[in-house]
A = this chain, B = another copy of it.
Amino acid sequence: MHLLIIGAAGMIGHKLAEKVAATGMIGDRKVDVLTLADVIEPEAATDFDGERRAMAVDLSQGGTAERMIADQPDVVVHLAAIVSGEAEADFDKGYRINLDGTRMLFDAIRLTQGYVPRVVYASSLAVFGAPFPDRIPDDFHLTPLTSYGTQKAIGELLLDDYSRRGFLDGVGIRFPTICIRPGKPNKAASGFFSGILREPLNGQDAVLPVPDDVRHWHASPRAAVGFIEHAASMDTARLGHARNLTMPGVSATVGDQIAALRAVAGDGAVAHIRRQPDETIARIVAGWPRDLDTARARDMGFKAETSFREIIQIYVDDELGGVLPSEPASPR
C-alpha cells in the first residue's frame, strides 16, 4: 500500500511518519511505499524499511496536486495548512493554501479516472464559533470566527460532497488542541496550555495568562496520530454522507491541568507556573469550545485519553524517555 502524507514536516505529520516507519503499518494496513510531502523536504522516517520518497511542494502551485498523486497513493493524509494566526494576518495566503490548495488536491483526484483513494483530512475545532452550549453536540452548526476556521469548514463540505459523488473516500477529523506539544514555546494564543506543563516538566518557568477556571478540549500528540491511523484504515460505510467527525478528547480546566501536573511531578513543578493575566489571550480563548459530545467518533472507534494525568504521562514517556528531569524544587 502507498501512503502519502502532505504536511509531513509538521509536528503531527512527523510523528505519524516516524510511527509508520517504525511499524510498517498505518492502522491495520501495511505500508510499502511512504511518500512525505511538505513545503520543505521532510526529514522523517529515514529508517523506513519500505520505499521512502520525499517531495518539497507548494500546494498553491498548479500541477503540484497532480504531481503528488501521480502514482495514485492508496491513502492520502492531508495535514498541510496555513495556521490560524497566519491565515488571519494574510487573507490571500490562507485562502490560497487552505482552500484552493485543498480543492486542487481533491480535483486532481477527481479527474484521475478510476482512482478513489482514502483521504484523511485534518480539520479543527476552529470550525465552531461562539456562542455555543457548554457541551457542543455532534450536529451543532459551524460558525467559524476566523478565516482559518472558515477554510477548514469549507474543506469539510468539499470532502463530504466529493465523497458522496464517489470521487474520493474521505474522513475529516476535527483535532482537539494538542497537548503537550513538544518543543519550544510558541506565540500561538493556545501555546500556554502546553507551556504550563512542558516548561515545568523540563525545570523551566512558564507563564499562565488566563484564570484557573478556563476550560478547553485536549488530546495528546499520540492520540492525534492514532486518530489519523484509524481514519486511514476504518470502514467508512458507517459514516454515510457525513464524513467529518469531532475527535474525542479531555475537557479540562487549567486548574485540572495543574492538579495533574502536581500529581505527576510534584509541587516543585507547579511552582514554575507564573500567573500573568493577559486580557487579549483570555478574550481569544473565551471564544473556544470547552467541551464536546463526541459520541459519533467514539462509536466509530476513535480513542483519546480520559484524564490529564494520562496526557502528561504520555509526554514524559514519548518526549523525556519516561524520566522526569531531576531538579531541586524551587518554589517562589
Q: Which chain B positions have C-beta within 8 A of A242?
A: 143
CB-based contact A142/B142 at 8 Å: yes
A 140-176 contacts with B by CB, 8 A: 140-145, 147, 150, 153-154, 157-158, 160-161, 164-165
Q: Which chain B positions have C-beta within 8 A of A158?
A: 150, 154
Q: How far is the CA of A73 from the CA of B143 in the complex (A)?
A: 28
Q: Which chain B positions have C-beta within 8 A of A235?
A: none
CB-based contact B140/A141 at 8 Å: yes
- Contacting residue for A145 out of B91, B129, B241, CB 8 A: B241
CB-based contact A157/B153 at 8 Å: yes
Q: Which chain B positions have C-beta within 8 A of A145?
A: 164, 241
The size class of the interface chain A forms with chain B is 20 to 34
CB-based contact A165/B147 at 8 Å: yes
A 115-151 contacts with B by CB, 8 A: 129, 132, 139-145, 147, 150
Q: How far is the CA of A161 from the CA of B145 in the complex (A)?
A: 7
CB-based contact A140/B139 at 8 Å: yes
Q: How far is the CA of A145 from the CA of B161 in the complex (A)?
A: 7
Q: How distant is A217 from chain B, measured CB to nearest CB, in Å? A: 18
* Binary CB contact string for chain A from 239 to 251 against chain B (1 if under 8 A, 0 otherwise): 0011000000000
Q: Which chain B positions have C-beta within 8 A of A241?
A: 129, 143, 145
Q: Which chain B positions have C-beta within 8 A of A165?
A: 91, 147
CB-based contact A142/B164 at 8 Å: no
Q: Which residue of B lies closest to A133 (CB)?
A: B139
CB-based contact A141/B142 at 8 Å: yes
Q: How far is the CA of A142 from the CA of B141 in the complex (A)?
A: 6
- Contacting residue for A144 out of B140, B141, B150, B157, CB 8 A: B157
CB<8 Å pairs between A and B, sample of 16:
A91-B110, A129-B241, A132-B139, A139-B140, A139-B141, A140-B141, A142-B157, A143-B160, A143-B242, A144-B157, A144-B161, A145-B164, A145-B241, A150-B157, A150-B158, A154-B154
Further 6 A-B residue pairs, CB within 8 A, beyond A140-B141, A144-B160, A150-B157: A91-B110, A139-B141, A141-B142, A143-B160, A143-B241, A147-B161
